[in-house]
Amino acid sequence: MPRSSEPLRKLGFLTIGLFDEADPRRGHEATLAIIELGERLGFDSAWVRHRHLQYGISSPVAVLAAASQRTSRIQLGTAVIPLGWENPLRLAEDLATVDILSGGRLNPGVSVGPPMRYDEVKGALYPDTSDTEDFSYERVRRLMAFVRGEAATDFRGTEGFEEFSDRVQPHAPGLARRMWYGGASLRSARWAGEQGMNFLTSSVVKAEESEDFAEIQLSHIRTFRAHHPDGDRARVSQGLVVIPTDTASPEQRAKYEAYARKRMPRTASPQGPARMMFAPDLVGSSAEIAERLHAHAGFQEVDEVAFALPFSFEHDDYVQILTDIATALGPALGWQPSA
């Protein structure tokens, strides 16, 4: 049943971490500064996107390792790591290391499928195995097994002066319970539930049984929980683009509204052969956005969110948007900032 009467329990945000090719450090430092600001504002979580061969964060695990040393409380997540680019065993080592460094605050989100523009990149990524690589859910199963501490080899013991483990080291207790699957289809929602993972649902879904975004998202959430061992208590985080304008300047408001108008046509009907549906960006006062969210069938089913920051804004815009989310929109949704 819808749970629209329940207050929002966890509030997070997602950033893409763009940078200038000529000065990449500045962009990465800006991303870290935004995460630090999020902690000061009381956000429960900060998430980073993953971009390969683009001018966005290509190594979110490394960025979150740095963020873990500049923060002490906020949860740190990836939304999402496309596993087609990764070796599950090596990624499990990296995730466990950062989780240990963060004090158990890492929330890795992953997805499957061939890498974007695979025909053009496969020669560099998998020069010898590009035609035989498995990009199915099996890649997630392998990663989850290593994260849980299952054996990666049949050898354990001492050889000469070196001691060897048969499982990934360091082992991070509790990390497996904080693994998320980013899904946009009924099949993914069901599979993630059957695996006992957490579920990330974003502003992009696959139009299967409906062409109404909120109805589609609602069906994904309910399908996930129907197949999860924890049922209605299984964790789902919703990620929509919200842009509150409470303290925005007139120039910022005009820019935000133009941004949303430019992206609006893609929300009218399913896009492309995969029939992907996009949620409209929510721009307006916090009171207006809260009203629209309370009427959103997907939002009514969740008690935690990770609102996505727009792609191409300036640092000062992100500061204003995050501050308004934390001080106005969050409280309007019943959320209270963490101490």
Taken in order of first residue, the domains within the chain and their CATH numbers are: 10-332 (3.20.20.30)
Cβ pair 329, 244 in contact under 8 A: yes
Q: Report the 10 Å Cβ neighbour count for 155.
A: 10
- Print the SS3 string covering 50-76: CCCCCCCCCCHHHHHHHHHCCCCCCEE
Quickly count: other Cβ atoms within 10 Å of residue 130's Cβ: 15
Which residues does 44 contact at the CB level (< 8 Å), separation at least 6? 10, 11, 12, 74, 75, 304, 338
Distance of CA 42 to the CA centre of its chain: 19
Contact (Cβ atoms closer than 8 angstroms) between residue 280 and residue 240: no
Q: What phi, psi does 119 have (nearest 5°)?
A: -60, -30
Q: Is 176 exposed, middle or buried (0-12, 13-18, 19+ CB in 10 A)?
A: middle
Distances (CA, A) of 135 to 16, 30, 118, 131: 24, 33, 11, 11
pLDDT of 23 higher than 90:
yes
pLDDT at 8 over 50: yes
Per-residue pLDDT band for 5 (boundaries 50, 70, 90) equals: low
Token couple for 66: 């740095």
pLDDT tens for each residue of 265-305: 999 999 999 999 999 999 999 999 999 999 999 999 999 99
Confidence of residue 104 (pLDDT cuts 50, 70, 90): very high
The pLDDT, as a whole number, for residue 1 is 37
The predicted pLDDT at position 338 comes to 83
C-alpha pair distances (Å), 78 with each of 42, 63, 302: 19, 10, 19
3 pLDDT exceeds 90?
no
Cα–Cα distance for residue pair 138/163, rounded to 1 Å: 30
